[in-house]
Structures are given as structure tokens and as C-alpha cells.
Homo-oligomer: A and B are copies of this chain.
């Protein structure tokens, strides 16, 4: 029954996240990278239906055979699927039918999980829960992007306190000696296939900044001509910035000469002490070059993270604070490693030596994206509780910005 509890807690959080959205909010898709909230709710349900119920529950009757086509995403082996860029056109089934679909699958899953299940089934359920948690974060990222396009700048959760009142604290450097270190997931708890196999890598001695770069520091970069001078930019980065007329991170807006920021609580003044977010890899890299530093590799980050406090897995799923907070001055060691902002690393997203995808359609989860994307580490304020660990590898293209992505510097000795 623990697995059922786990299942129901995850499923319930998704519904809770969507519950403050209207039917209109849930249907719109703001760009090809994003998906409608309604689609996230249905696709995560499709995952359980396809890989658990249809595969292992012989008596299961699907609610509507069209859903298998509509709510598949990139699982080629699971059959044909609807065009990604047109998810916003699927106004029917509506949110009521999607709710019904969720309840239908939840009931069948409850029946399955009240019985003893094989280890394989348990693993698939755990994979489905982690998959759904990823979509919980995507749902928040996507709704933020959607609302940012609305001239009236709606708040996802108006009551949210979008930042702690906090002063900026100085950035320090922490040193880590080189040598052979072990990276990748350790232990028997769940992890994604891309965190395996655990293996050794050779690091050189390096330093990590003890906190994230702040909005105030980013304003310094802007005022120093950071977006006007190609000197510190990667060539692709500069062209992307020029083509898209970037002059600041995503969601920053200059109003009457002042920088404001669009958050899940709406538009408000920037707090210079809060960490800068919604950066592309290109911007993070350009800043680091301008600052005479560099981005950490994913293994440097992971090695450093072993010294930081892991987030508490049983944090209540409140989401009352979906905006990163300033680094506290009373902490020591590496601050803001987990749960504030995903941190760009200089590592391209590649398979670990000996990587093996799971067989079948669930194996399409990670490996097929292992080109052109770069690794981020650490989780963010929109990451679901318990869904963060030191070996966790998130990945995005260097050009995208709608994720909660920030910047921690590294340097050689």
C-alpha cells in the first residue's frame, strides 16, 4: 500500500497544481516547446494507462481509444502520436473529460496497487510517478510562459510571496581537490537511466562559487554592455541573442527605466539579492567569461554537491514560493545548491560509459536527446518535493530560457 500512497500523492499534487487554472488557461500552448496544462494532466495519465494498465491489467478497459494517439508524446515505439506543435488545437476532450480520464485510470491503478505487484510493476509505477513529477514542473514552466504573453500579466497564484526580503551577501569560493571521484547514482533508490552507471572520473582541482549569481550582479553585466558586445559570447550565442533581440534574461521588462520581472505571482520589481533566473546557456557562459570565470562541469558540480545539504524529501508540496530566494547569510558551505534554480554546467548531455536505455518504449525516455543539449543540476523552486538529488541530470538546448535556470561560477586554480 505504500506504493499506492506514493502514487496517489503524486497524482493529487498534479490536480492541485492545475486546480487554480481555468479551462481556457489549460488548453493554450504558447510555443512548440511547451504543452497545455490539460495535456500534461492527460499525458501523465496515458503513461500509466499504456505502460501499466494495458501491459499488466488484462481486464482494463480504456476510457477512449483516441486518447492513446492524442496523449502520446515522443514515444515512437508506443505508436503514432499527434503533432507536438499543435497540442493547443486539441480543445476536445476538454478539462472535464481529462479529469474523468484521470479518475478512470486512478481507479484502475488503485485496484492494481492494492494487490501485491511484481518488482517490475513497482519500478514502472515509480518511473511513472517521477515522470509525472517532471511534468508538474513543466506545467508550472509552461503556464508561466503562457501568462507572460498576456498583456495583462496574470498571476498563477496571486497570494504568492514572490521573494523573501533579503540583503545580498558576498560571493565566496570553495576549493575542491582533484583526483578520481565516483559520479552517477549510488544506492538502490529510484533514479533515471541517464544517471547510470555509477563510474569514476578524474577531476582537476577547482573552485565553486558558494552561491548563485544575483539579479543585481546581472544588472552590472547589462550595464557593462554585456548584451551589446560579442567579445565574451560564444558565436552561436551571440547570433541567437542578436536574432531574438535579447537585452536581458527572459521575463525581465524595462518599465519607465526600471527593471521589473514577470513571476508566477505577476509582474513586480526585481530584488537585486535574488538569484538571476531564466537564463540560456549562452547568457550564462557569456557572463562567466565576462567575470573571468567559467561554468562548472557536471561532475565538478556533483562532486561539490556531496558537501551540501540535500533537500528534505518530505517538504510539504506547498508551492507557495515559486520564485528563487536570495542566499541566506547564515549558511556556510555551498549555498543554493538544491531547489532554488537549475544550474547550467559546461557538460553536454551525453551517455555515461556503459549507458543502457531500458528496453521498449519507456527506454525512449532519455537517450534519444543526448545531442545538442546541455546538463543542468540542482532542481528549482518549481521542482516537485523529493524529486531532486545530486546525481540528477536535467537537460535543455543552449538557446531556451523558459526553465528556471540560473548560474553558479567555477574556476581553475
Given A88-B88, A234-B370, 7 other A-B contacts at CB below 8 A? A24-B92, A25-B92, A28-B88, A91-B146, A204-B353, A204-B354, A236-B369
**A89 contact set on B, CB distance < 8 A:** 28, 30, 146, 149-150
Q: Is the CB of A236 within 8 A of B146?
A: no
Q: Is the CB of A150 within 8 A of B353?
A: no
* Binary CB contact string for chain A from 315 to 336 against chain B (1 if under 8 A, 0 otherwise): 0000000000000000000000
Residue of B nearest to A94 (CB): B24
6 contacts between A and B (CB under 8 A): A23-B27, A28-B89, A89-B146, A91-B147, A294-B351, A372-B372
**A294 contact set on B, CB distance < 8 A:** 351
* Binary CB contact string for chain A from 19 to 46 against chain B (1 if under 8 A, 0 otherwise): 0001111111010000000100000000
In the complex, A353→B413 CA distance in Å?
Answer: 11
**Neighbour of A91 across the interface among B76, B150, B281, B372, CB < 8 A:** B150
Does residue A119 face the partner (Cβ distance < 8 Å to B)? no
CB proximity of A90 to chain B, nearest CB, Å: 6
**A281 contact set on B, CB distance < 8 A:** 371
Binds B, one of A66-74, A120-128, A219-227: A66-74
Does residue A209 face the partner (Cβ distance < 8 Å to B)? no
Does residue A5 face the partner (Cβ distance < 8 Å to B)? no
CB proximity of A286 to chain B, nearest CB, Å: 11
Q: Is the CB of A28 within 8 A of B70?
A: no
Q: Is the CB of B372 within 8 A of A149?
A: no
**A30 contact set on B, CB distance < 8 A:** 89
Q: Is the CB of B91 within 8 A of A369?
A: no
Does residue A339 face the partner (Cβ distance < 8 Å to B)? no
Does residue A285 face the partner (Cβ distance < 8 Å to B)? yes
**A92 contact set on B, CB distance < 8 A:** 22, 24-25, 150, 152, 154
Interface centre among A24, A76, A150, A236 (most CB of B within 10 A): A24
* Binary CB contact string for chain A from 263 to 300 against chain B (1 if under 8 A, 0 otherwise): 00000000000000000011001000000001000000
Does residue A255 face the partner (Cβ distance < 8 Å to B)? no
CB proximity of A77 to chain B, nearest CB, Å: 7
CB proximity of A267 to chain B, nearest CB, Å: 13
Binds B, one of A165-173, A194-202, A243-251: A194-202
Does residue A398 face the partner (Cβ distance < 8 Å to B)? yes
Interface centre among A27, A92, A371 (most CB of B within 10 A): A371
Does residue A151 face the partner (Cβ distance < 8 Å to B)? yes
Does residue A216 face the partner (Cβ distance < 8 Å to B)? no
Does residue A233 face the partner (Cβ distance < 8 Å to B)? yes
* Binary CB contact string for chain A from 187 to 208 against chain B (1 if under 8 A, 0 otherwise): 0000000000001111010000
Q: Is the CB of A77 within 8 A of B231?
A: yes
**A200 contact set on B, CB distance < 8 A:** 202
Does residue A56 face the partner (Cβ distance < 8 Å to B)? no
Given the known inter-chain contacts A22-B94, A23-B22, please indicate yes or no for A180 contacting B151, CB distance below 8 A.
no
Q: Is the CB of A233 within 8 A of B368?
A: yes
**Neighbour of A28 across the interface among B25, B28, B69, B370, CB < 8 A:** B28
